[in-house]
Amino acid sequence: MRENAAALLHRPYGPLRVEAVPYVAPSEGQLVIRTRALAVNPLDLIKQATGNLSFRWLPHPTVLGEDVAGEVVEVGPGVTRFSPGDRVVGYAVGMEKAGDHMAEGGFQRFTVLREGLSSPIPANMSFENAAVLPLGISTAASALFGAGQLGLQHPGAGALAEEAAVVVWGGSTSVGSNAIQLAVAAGYTVIATASPRNFGRARLLGAAQVFDYTSATVVRDIATALHGTRVAGILAVGTGSAEPCVEVAIATGANRVSLASPSVSLLELPRRKGVSPRFIRLMTRLAARYVTLQIRSRVNGIRTGFVWGSRLMEDDVGPMLWERFLPAALADGSYTTSPAPQIVGTGLEQVQVALELLDKGISARKLVVTMPEENSSTTTLAGSRAGT
């Protein structure tokens, strides 16, 4: 009998605690991996830091975590793409409404994945590098290709009918790094923004030009660079990116902007239960900026909408990405895992540490925890800031 363990969120605003949990066998269309590396995301931190304001459907205890890579140990009925021993990367969907909030969470030793949200990884790719992909690439793909978002042509669909460009605001982020590569693979010219120290990285990923998002003239500079080129869509990644991206759309004639981030960070909210003056001020500011953005967009004929990475579970973007595009692109080396992983430590006890580092802020990196062959089964993460 396999012994499983997970980093559990037992209560709103509480720290993660590593405890023994049941091993769950795969059902139809599922596989179980022994997790060898996992990455943390802002979604995990937001859930822990904002209590039941976000992901209200999650029970306590629950297992967070979306990004995992490891070795297949068991496959369920109907699984044809994987066998025990295969090395895979997958998008764990335990935080989604339709997910199993324990078995399909990524912060555990044995994780249940869905075949349609998993990809083999080549022998020369480390689990740490693979683990940076799932949520970032899924969100980027949903934003670029989803019918309710930018609706771009898929990679492999042939040459574009006419030259077209995509603007990726936040090109050094996890979502942005993947969006650059996916848009280029689909045949689009990509204009990106980043901080100057990350210009080179964005260009290596395929961006034709990169602009400093902090520049007072960035909107005008992008519009000048795109003069005479059809702009198929704009992806806004990062807090505060929505407003300048709408201005870019107005200046370039684009009519679609996909929003991956709110105008105000939810991590600014008080980390305790109840309504406070600070809570009211932040939510009022968030609502005001959203309403202003929507008015500005509609007046200028621009469609904006927030993107959710798991949307590809419900449309043809998921199979395109996870079954057709990514396996081949990773195998032939044409796709780069990005951002680079920063290894926080080994073992589930390090997941809380990684979340606290993420809370302090990182740039152009993805925080990754590696997993040993054996973990201690019960550990309390005492003294973390999240538990104070």
Residues 231 and 306 in one domain: yes
Residues 126 and 180 in one domain: no
Specify if 326 maps to a domain. Answer: no
Specify if 258 maps to a domain. Answer: yes
**Residue 152 pLDDT:** 98
Number of neighbours of residue 197 by Cβ within 10 angstroms: 10
Residue-wise pLDDT for 313-342, tens only, equals: 999 999 999 999 999 999 999 999 999 999
**β-strands 209-212, 189-194 pairing:** parallel
Q: Whole-angstrom Cα distance, residue 353 to residue 369?
A: 9
Which residue in 333, 312, 246 sits closest to 93, CA to CA?
312
Specify if 291 maps to a domain. Answer: yes
Residues 170 and 274 in one domain: yes
Domain range for 372: 4-132+339-387
Is residue 263 within 8 Å of 243, Cβ to Cβ? yes
Is residue 104 within 8 Å of 93, Cβ to Cβ? yes
Q: Whole-angstrom Cα distance, residue 172 to residue 198?
A: 6
Residue 216 burial (10 A CB sphere; 0-12, 13-18, 19+): exposed
Specify if 320 maps to a domain. Answer: no
**Residue 374 pLDDT:** 61
Instruction: Return the sign of the alpha-carbon dihedral for residues 61, 67, 70, 72.
Output: positive
Residue-wise pLDDT for 208-217, tens only, equals: 999 999 999 9
Q: Is the model's pLDDT at 383 over the cut of 60?
A: no
**Count of domains forming the chain:** 2
Residue-wise pLDDT for 124-142, tens only, equals: 999 999 999 999 999 999 9
The confidence band for 275, taking pLDDT boundaries of 50, 70 and 90, is: confident
Q: DSSP per residue over 242-265, as a string? A: HHHHHHHHHHHT--EEEESS-SS-
In percent, the amount of the chain with pLDDT more than 90 equals: 86
Residues 147 and 122 in one domain: no
In percent, the amount of the chain with pLDDT more than 70 equals: 96
> If you ran DSSP here, which 8-state letter would residue 152 be given?
P
Domain end, chosen from 310, 329, 347, is at: 310
**Residue 7 pLDDT:** 98
Is residue 381 within 8 Å of 352, Cβ to Cβ? yes
**Residue 229 pLDDT:** 97
The confidence band for 378, taking pLDDT boundaries of 50, 70 and 90, is: very low
Name the pTM for this structure. Answer: 0.93
Residues 220 and 118 in one domain: no
**Residue 278 pLDDT:** 80
Q: In what order do the strands lie in the sheet with 303-306?
A: 209-212, 189-194, 164-169, 230-236, 256-259, 303-306
Is residue 21 within 8 Å of 38, Cβ to Cβ? no
